[in-house]
Structure 1
């Protein structure tokens, strides 16, 4: 049976929903005008104008302010506005960056030669707050700005709502190890948030632009406030926390992964939308910042799952930075979104381009390369095919090289996911033969050698080919008489014994070189890793007197290999399948057996080990003699916060336990901070309620010289 061990708690990442704006779409149709109603104050009617020029860094004209209500948007990118090159621009409203209104979907593509001669209009309804706009054309990323919308009547007298959350790695006393990160969120449903400020440890008020990282060891208090566009200021809020020094400097970047979810069709495309969830962990100083970008449009702070709705192929990139400043590598997830609901009846568009060296008559010398391109704005391209000189239709996977002399016809077509097939296209070209010289090809064998010239452990064979005529098309090799294989990278041979690697090359004109070969011998490495990794597992969690785990148990598996290093860890829970282990397992009620094993980089696999344990439901009433006073009271101070049941039969007063013994007053305050922090996380308390309780604990004399005021 496993014995309980204390497990480090993983930092939780608070997420909020985000919706990504379409990258290319027509502007929303204007909503229908409402029927006449009884006379009342008229909604703000206005026109906002943007213009495009030859510049790729800024719009010609752009607004800075507006009033709430129905608004006509004019975007003109024409010769009249200074565009003399026919350059396209877009006017796109940002619907994902935090801090801006996301309720208007606007994405207008305009150029002087489009059907509207570059002038487009759309009708939208603006609400109080700030909007961000930008151009989505690659290379035009600095064409961006923002404008503020007020309610126009000066009737907003309600201040913003503002809150703060502290995150980071904590020790058992609730102190933050190395650093703490404070994230402030402010909202205003009327005129909109104008400014957010914070004050750290009594210092100057500072504009809040990004999460505040506090790394100085000691106790800290961070006050915060917000002001809306009409000048209404919120009451000051406050969070208090302690930072302690960490034992070792954190030099390891966070681990960050992403998962794509949503409804998928039979081809794996996401129907109508795809949601990307990014997860980051850091066992050192803790995750400070997670960022993402959609289709190379610029990185944004990640605060919650990102939803992409525009049909087409997309890539979301992501990265994370910890509190010590270590940044992870940038990861990416590709996916395709297709439209659902309305049936796609439009076939794809497909084109062909023929390239190669040509003579004076336009014939292609020795070889021609045909490249096909297909696109589909509906359900997406499912397949592209070609037919050469009346042969069979063949799936197109890359450029087609034709090197037979004579006239040729290459037909091509594409089919989308909805089954619509494009009309057949045709490319006609003629090849004349000129290159009759085969390529030259050589091989180089490298690796650690012993006194006899044998390669120890493995040999690495590199092939090189050149052709001064039509150019090299393919390089192939055959190891020890095996099948010919296309060469793409150096060939590593690790099997002990004598070996012969044959090789050859073919140029674009179809000339094949004479076959070459290299012979060599590989012997075993006397220092080869033949020892399997060691692997262990621990189960942690709250336990009863019979060593059963209460509600859940956490299984943590670790492995060590001092030679080649651990390659993978696997586990099997009860009768389940073997699964790659990536993070601690949370296991619910029941009797369980977990099997586990590890493999090192040399391929050695450990013995399969196992452990058994039982998880039972916890007693729902953990505090039978509960403190049921109506409000939370600390010492002589009534906080007027409701003393509610926290979910297991214990009230907030029970958990604060003011009558318990504490070595010092600070020990009591730390206890209250930890208890109320957990209650905020579980939704029992609001952050502002927690601040009131912590202040009451700070002002009390509980724990001072052992005095616990009742």
Structure 2
């Protein structure tokens, strides 16, 4: 194929890769013309392919001496300095949690600067380039001096993750809190939990929670520094019927007007509620005492209290437990 015309030489340098891409675009444009389609039909041509330039361009010696449209040779590192600066800068793990602004600089004020993002073309980089897409981005930068000298091609990676990780509860009904977390980009750095809503601890495995049921807050932090919103989960212990763990005393002897305190405790899940009862017929029938709903119950002995029996009844959704009996003897003061 022959393309005719008068095209003035450009005033900027070309690398072989740039020349290859330019040739590919010209051929692609030409192949879409009616003339090409007609010729292709006659010759049985299905399309065009651009071969790698390392094999295609072999005799460029004569072009390397001209001042316009000069083809650049491989970088030797003898050209201007070149640097890539990303803002905000990456953390120690190489990630940022926000979009990045990239600048290419050189100590040579007259150098022409070029930047390529994600294997794209090296384009003039006079202004900062904003990168907001998440993931890893490959940067390449080049500086060309006024004398045509070329810097070494500088390569750098930018990693962006602006999405919070996700923390989840996998178990909370056995008196322990089990957590997990995921993050699609930078990865999970830590899972945290708080028993008081203020102090955060690093989660390393199932956490035994005392005084259940108890509300526990949890969250996750990824490698880029994103923190998920804190969530709350109430941890409960396995259901268990009440079991009396402390019996009241078997007998109390007091005088009229003396305060009597009875104490009994029980375990169970959920935490059992307690009701104190009394009997006036030797335990054949029992009456619940009004307001006696704590593990310790205090009342004032009267003459009518003499001979009565007392006990504590513990109940929850899983069952009931009854304490042993306390017999109270009351005497009249002389």
Q: TM-score, normalised by structure 1?
A: 0.14
Bigger radius of gyration: 2
Q: Which one has more relative contact order, counting CA pairs under 8 Å at least 6 apart?
A: 2
Q: TM-score, normalised by structure 2?
A: 0.28
- Indicate the structure with greater helix content: 2
